[in-house]
Amino acid sequence: MAGDPIRQFLDGHLTLTRRHFVQAGLLSAAAAASINADEQQQTQLTEVLQDLEPWLTEQDEFRDVSRGKPKPHSLPEEKRAEVGLTRATWKLNVTSDPENPARILNPLEGDTAFTFDDLMELAKTNVVRFPKVMTCLNIGCPLGNGIWEGVPLRDVIWRTQPSENLRRVFYWGYHNDDPEQMFRSSLPVGRILEDLYDLPPVILCYKLNGDWLTPERGGPVRVVVPEAYGFKSIKWLTNVVLSNLPTANDTYATQNNDVDSPLKTFCATLTPPGNPKPAEPIPVTGYAQSGISGLSKVQVWIQPRDEEWSKDDPHFTKAPWKDATLLPPPDAWGGNLPGGRIPQNTRDFDQSGKPVDWPLRLSKAHWCMLHPGLPAGKYVFRCRTIDANGHAQPMPRPFRKSGHAKIESVRFEVT
Ligand SMILES: Nc1nc2c(c(=O)[nH]1)N[C@H]1C(S)=C(S)[C@@H](COP(=O)(O)O)O[C@H]1N2
Ligand SMILES: [Mo]
């Protein structure tokens, strides 16, 4: 039976010294090799930290949830060239919606369609780079974290010379010329014309982590919406439609998703507690997604499995949560960046490639904790974020169809 003595033990022991945590976060491989043998606990934590995923995800390592039969990126190069999915052949139509026309003077289509050369010309003066985690609203766990490069979508919209009746913009990509396969998304025009709430602009993206966007990531050109879930970031972009429609007409809207939901803040484990022996130290690592409301903390809680919890407190707000350690910016960013360096003029980074703030909003951070050891028994490990407004997960928006925020619980046993 897990009574108060075990609770007291857990409460008293969950925070090992701050020094250990902080040092662990800062340890490089060289420093780790020089750790004293008697600092066994710290060594265990260091080992799991060395296996931690890199901060940036290589293009090929992103999880892919593309639709299409066949998936557009799997088409042979020749076919991709034919349908405009190479840099040499890409063309973007920007036209008025026949059903809800916006008044524009100069549609871009046919001979006047916008080309990759046009895009590169714009990029000479208007390039934008920003970090962003790509997360599927329906899946929840991030598909990858990258530095996305492009030009603001508004620069292309202005070329159509819109003057009136423009309220919404919708857009889609190549879908094997089969209407059934169309996957489209949309935004209020205001979000494209202005950078609200200090966000980066919505871009026509052609590079990821300093390299050309691969076909699998949506190349040659995709939309990237900084604050949104993945379904707004349409791949293999071919069409932008300017509309007087006042409401969302995203494909995801037909799947009961909250299509106006910005990214939420939440965390999960990467190395969960496993199956430790009694009194053996328990290192745990994980990641946190910093959503629209930022990230101030990650907290953890180990509960004996047979403990009852009040139905009045479904989000465990009264549990004895303890702060985990947020890891500082890494020495190496990962992502296969050219020269290993953050590209110049990337938002949130200074000219020397250091982040100006940490953790970065709309991106990822990692965390760790080290528990010195537990008595034999069955437990549940939970972690949660506190966003920069002070809201603990899954608040302030706990609804599943607006994005994942459920508190993760991992069962484990000490034997
Ligand atoms: N053309 C097109 N774009 C698309 C999709 C798609 O099926 N077709 N899937 C969307 C969804 S639902 C997500 S979550 C992201 C995933 O981006 P990624 O494959 O680069 O990780 O792409 C989005 N863009
Ligand atoms: Mo998605």
Give pLDDT tens digits along the chain (415 positions). 334 444 444 443 333 433 443 344 433 343 344 333 336 677 788 888 888 999 999 999 999 888 899 999 999 999 999 999 999 999 999 999 999 999 999 999 999 999 999 999 999 999 999 999 999 999 989 999 999 999 999 999 999 999 999 999 999 999 999 999 999 999 999 999 999 999 999 999 999 999 999 999 999 999 999 999 999 999 999 999 999 999 999 999 999 999 999 999 999 999 999 999 999 999 999 999 999 999 999 999 999 999 999 999 999 999 999 999 999 999 999 999 999 999 999 999 999 999 999 999 999 999 999 999 999 999 999 999 999 999 999 999 999 999 999 999 999 999 9
Using the mean position of ligand 2's atoms as its centre, give its distance from the Cα of residue 174 in Å.
17
Whether 232 maps to a domain, the answer reads yes
- Report the half-sphere exposure of 127 (CA within 13 A, side-chain side): 16
**Chain CA centroid to CA 376, Å:** 37
* Total residues found in the chain within this entry: 415
Rounded Cα distance, 372 and 103, in Å: 67
- State the distance from the centre of ligand 2 to the C-alpha of 140, rounded, in angstroms: 9
CA distance linking residue 407 with residue 385, whole number of Å? 9
- 231 in contact with ligand 1, CB cutoff 6 A: yes
230 with 307, same domain: the answer is: no
Q: Which amino acid is at 238?
A: T
Judgement on whether residues 125 and 223 belong to the same structural domain of the protein: yes
Q: 293 and 229, same structural domain?
A: no
Beta strands in 313-404 (DSSP E): 322-323, 325-326, 364-371, 377-386
Q: Is the CB of 184 under 6 A from ligand 1?
A: no
Are 236 and 94 in the same domain? yes
Protein residue with its CA nearest to atom 11 in ligand 1:
231
371 contact partners, CB below 8 Å, separation of at least 6: 13, 14, 16, 273, 281, 282, 283, 284, 302
Instruction: Measure 44 CA to ligand 2 centroid, in angstroms.
Output: 36
For ligand 2, the distance from its centroid to the CA atom of residue 348, given in whole angstroms, is: 26
The finding on whether 341 has its CB within 6 A of some atom of ligand 1 is: no
On whether both 323 and 292 belong to a single domain, the answer is: yes
Instruction: Name the residue of 83, 183, 208, 259 to mutate for ligand 1: max ligand atoms within 8 A of Cβ.
Output: 183
Question: Number of folded domains in the chain?
Answer: 2
Closest ligand 1 atom number to CA of residue 144:
21
270 and 141, same domain (yes or no)? no
The Cα 122–Cα 141 span in angstroms is 34
| In a domain? residue 59 | no
Segments forming the whole domain that contains residue 281 = 4-52+264-414
**Listed residue (213, 200, 149, 230) closest to 348, CA to CA:** 200
**255, 283, 313: which is the final residue of a domain?**
255
Euclidean distance between CA atoms 240 and 117, whole angstroms: 18
Question: Is 60 within a domain?
Answer: no
> Is residue 158 within 8 Å of residue 220, measured between CB atoms?
no
Residue at a domain's end among 198, 233, 255: 255
Q: Are residues 220 and 294 in the same domain?
A: no
- Looking at the structure, tell me whether residues 236 and 95 fall in a common domain: yes
Query: Residues 6 or more apart from 363 whose CB is under 8 A from it?
Result: 131, 132, 133, 145, 289, 290, 348
Q: Are residue 204 and residue 342 in the same domain, yes or no? A: no
Same domain, 123 and 245: yes
Residue 16 lies in a domain: yes
Say whether 413 sits in a helix, a strand or coil. Answer: strand
Instruction: Name the residue at shortest CA distance from atom 15 of ligand 1.
Output: 230
* pTM for the full predicted model: 0.91
Same domain for 70 and 217? yes
